[in-house]
Each structure stands twice: as structure tokens, then as C-alpha cells.
Chains A and B, each alone.
Chain A
Amino acid sequence: MKLIDTLEALLFVADGPVALVDLLQASEGGRADVDSALEELGSRMSGEGPLQLVRIAGGYQVCTKPEFVEAITRFLKPQRQRLTRSALEVLAIVAYKQPITSSEIETIRAVQSDYALRTLVEKDLIYEVDRMATPGRPILYGTTDQFLHIFNLNDLDELPPIQGNPEVVEVGA
């Protein structure tokens, strides 16, 4: 049994991202062999067939290629839930500043953000990481793996750098 086929089978039955450590354990392969097999599997799938191998939310997962989106959408009729711009803003602040409290978010935005936070918690995009050791023990929020998955991120390091204060640019000589 080839390791590459074993890995493909594991990724086929998985209903979420599979961490490398789990692939190593299930396939009983060595680290170098599994890395190599995954690379080969990725290039093979990207070359032909409707599926591709992606690294997402800290693991490996098989998904369809973008060119099949129309047919799949007609078939599945997925209900897309869009986040509002304000919810996205709160989500971005949490993603970059986590762990962060509600009041700190409101300081950055200068508007109340309770509703957006509740929505994001309900959608499993952020969660209560901890409580701050200050009077009132405010909740510290952080992003979930679902956030990484929804936004096609493998880890938080893939977030683009945030914009700093705009520099003054002199026009003309």
C-alpha cells in the first residue's frame, strides 16, 4: 500500500482539516515521507481531477477546485451568510489584537461592539479565550479554527500586515 494513497484515503474521509501529526499517526509514516507524499499528492491533484489539496486552519484538507463552483452551487444551493462590514471590522480587530476585551475593541472603534461580538460568537468565529485578571474579569476574545477555515487561512501568520498611520508624502520638489 502506497503512502500517498493512504494519505489520500485519510483526507477523503476527513470532514475537516487534518493536522500533520494526525496524518503521521494514522498513516504510520515518517515525517519526511509524509511531507514528500503530501507534496506529491498536492501536485497530482492540482494537475488533474476536480479536487485539490489545500492547507487550511492548521491542517490538510481536500476540496473542489474553483472552476466547479457554478455546478456545485446549482447542486447544493448553499445558503451564503455574509458578515456585515462592522462585524468584519470587529473580527479583524480580534484577529490582530487577540486576546482582546470588548472595551478595548470599543476603544479602537469608538463605537459599541457588543452586537457584533455576539454575532461572531454565535457564528463560531470568535470565542472566549480567557478572562482578564482585572476587576469585573472582562472576557478576552480570540479567533477560532472556524475563522481560519472560513477565511481560507492556514494560520494567523497569513494575515496581511495592518495599515499603520499614513505617512506624509511630499508632493513635488
Chain B
Amino acid sequence: MSRSQEKTSLAPAGLATPVPLRVQSATFEGSLATLFHLARDGRVDLSGIPLYPVCIAYCEYIREMPEDDVDAAGAALLALAYLVERKAWSLLPIADPPPPEEIAELPEPTAHEFAMAVDSLEERHRERSQLFFRQGESSDAYEVPMGPGSVSAAELAKAFERILMRAKPVEVERLAKHRPSLADVMKESLRRIREAGSATIEALLPSEFTRLDVVFVFLAVLELLRIGQVRAALTGDELSLTPATK
């Protein structure tokens, strides 16, 4: 290791040009500045260059350097630190790069391999259709209880369909009385008005009525008025309905 009189300066990118130390090894010979630049550009293998002597030389330089040349000392320290770090990284074992992913081959249909088998099954099915086997008697009356998991969903669905086919549902009896439609109420109201010649809304209500009956009759009267089948006249507080004359 030797020192030379190279001038220390700062590179435009902010990286310092190191102090004038000369590095001499089996694989590299040149200034510390050159080594720094080559290492920075990745053009030298630092693993073959011992940096320990360079550090010793740097320390000697520090001891002998003029007191006012702190910049040069700092630049050299930075360069050395950089080299040491790069060398440290280069010494770390690098995991083998992952193997390139195998190119996934598109699945090729191989169903043609089964063509003969399909033909054979068809032939066997045709032969089988010539044979008739004894049909089992219905076991409805003696259905064997089946364990959980022994019945597939399809079997359950078929069984349910069979039950529905056998089912004879009784006719549903309506609990509420049949309610006539609005058209029925309109017809009945118009018949009453025509028969009486004139009628009040109360007269159109059935003998026993609910609130819903009142609503239906009122709507029927409104509809009859709208389509011009009846006319309404107010006498005092009494509303009388008469058939419309053409």
C-alpha cells in the first residue's frame, strides 16, 4: 500500500474522490479513487481485494495528514466505508435464483382416448336393452330406515317427488267469507239504485256490514259516478243517488 499525491475533490454527484492512497493487490493495482469508482460501477470484484491494509494505510494517513485537510479525510472515510459495505454484501451468500417458472402448458383435450370406450359402452347398453330383469315389488309398506349419509340429495328429491305424486290434498276451506270484487259491488249497487229509483249510500250497504264493506260501497259509488252510470244530488245533508238518464 502506498500513498501518492493525487488531489482530493468532490464528484458532481456528491461522492467524494478519496485521498491519494494507492492500492496494490493481486487483482487490482491503482489509486483508492480508481478502486472506488470501479467498485461503484460494479467493474471490480472486491472479494479478491483485501481492504484491511487499505484501512491501516488510511489510519496512517490520518495521523500524518495536515490538520486542515478534514474534507480529504472525510472523503477517504466515506470511500472506505462504501468499499467495505460493498465487499460485505459481496461476501454474503446469495441464494440461488429461483428456477424459472415452468411454462404452463395449455391442457389438451384427451377425450378422444375414450372414444372407443364410449362406443363400447353404447354397444353394451344396446345389448343390455335386450335383456329384461325381474322388477322389484314396491317396498313402500316396508321402507327400511336409512342411516344418515346413506341417502343422496338426488334420492331425497326423487322420494319427495314420489310422495307429492301420491299425495291427495284435501280441499282447503276458507275461514273468511268470500269477498265480492269491486265490480260485483258496483253491479249490485247499480241494481239497487235502478230498482229504487233513488237511494242513499246507507241503503246500498248490506244489512250487516263492516268497515271494509263501507269502503267498497263508497268506492263503487265513486266509480259509478265516474263512468256516468249514476248521478248524485245533495238535498240538505242527504246524498241521494239516481240512475243516470241517457
Chain A residues proximal to chain B, CB less than 8 Å: 12, 14-16, 54, 61-64, 66, 68-69, 72, 76, 80, 83, 85, 88-89, 91-93, 95-96, 107-111, 121-122, 124, 127-128, 149-153, 159-160, 162-165
Which of B116, B131, B135, B136 has the most CB atoms of chain A within a 10 A radius of its CB?
Answer: B131
> For B152, what are the chain A residues with a Cβ–Cβ distance below 8 Å?
121, 127-128
Contact partner of B154 among A80, A124, A151, A164, CB < 8 A? A124
Bound complex: CA A63 to CA B125 (Å): 15
Q: Are A93 and B128 in contact, CB atoms less than 8 angstroms apart?
A: no
Q: Does the CB pair A160–B132 fall under 8 Å? A: no
In the complex, chain A residues whose CB is within 8 Å of the CB of B130? 66, 69
Q: Name the A residues within 8 Å of B118 (CB-CB).
A: 85, 88-89, 92
B107 touches A110 (CB 8 A): yes
Distance from B91 Cβ to chain A, minimum over Cβ atoms (Å): 42
Contact A16 B136 (CB under 8 A): yes
Which B104-131 residues have a C-beta within 8 angstroms of A? Answer: 107-118, 120-122, 124-125, 127-131
What would 21 A/B residue contacts be, using CB atoms closer than 8 Å?
A: A66-B130, A69-B129, A69-B130, A72-B132, A83-B125, A89-B111, A89-B118, A96-B114, A96-B117, A110-B111, A121-B152, A124-B154, A150-B125, A151-B125, A152-B125, A152-B127, A159-B120, A160-B117, A163-B112, A163-B113, A163-B117
Distance, CA A162 to CA B117, complexed state (A): 6
> In the complex where A110-B109, A121-B154, A163-B116 touch, is A92 in contact with B121 (Cβ < 8 A)?
yes
A76 to B111, alpha carbons, bound, how many Å?
37
How far apart are the CA atoms of A162 and B116 in the complex, in Å? 7
Contact A152 B128 (CB under 8 A): yes
Within the assembled complex, what's the spacing in Å between the Cα atoms of A159 and B116?
Answer: 11
Q: Are A89 and B135 in contact (CB-based, < 8 A)?
A: no
B113→A110 contact, CB < 8 A: no
When chains A and B are docked, how far (Å) is the Cα of A122 from the Cα of B115? 24
B134 at interface (Cβ–Cβ under 8 A)?
yes
- Given A89-B111, A89-B118, A152-B127: 8 more A-B contacts, CB < 8 Å: A61-B133, A68-B132, A80-B129, A93-B111, A109-B109, A110-B108, A151-B124, A152-B124
- Give, as a whole number of angstroms, the nearest-CB distance from B15 to chain A: 52
Contact present for B108 and A162 (CB under 8 Å): no
- Contact across chains for A63 and B107 when beta carbons are under 8 A apart: no
In the assembled complex, the Cα of A151 lies from the Cα of B131 at a distance in Å of: 11
Q: Counting CB contacts under 8 A, is B137 at the interface? A: yes
Chain B hits for A110, CB < 8 A: 107-109, 111
Which residues of chain A are near B133, meaning CB under 8 Å? 15-16, 61-64
A164→B108 CA distance, assembly (Å): 14
| A128 to B: closest C-beta gap in Å | 7
Question: What 7 A-B pairs are tightest by C-beta distance, nearest first?
Answer: A15-B136, A110-B109, A66-B130, A152-B128, A92-B117, A63-B131, A92-B114
Are the C-beta atoms of B114 and A15 separated by less than 8 Å? no
Which residues of chain A are within 8 angstroms of B113 by Cβ–Cβ distance? 162-165
Chain B 133-157 near chain A by CB (<8 Å), digits 1 or 0: 1111100000000000000101100
Q: Which of B64-90 contact A (CB under 8 A)?
A: none
Which of B110, B116, B125 makes the CB contact (< 8 A) with A160?
Answer: B116
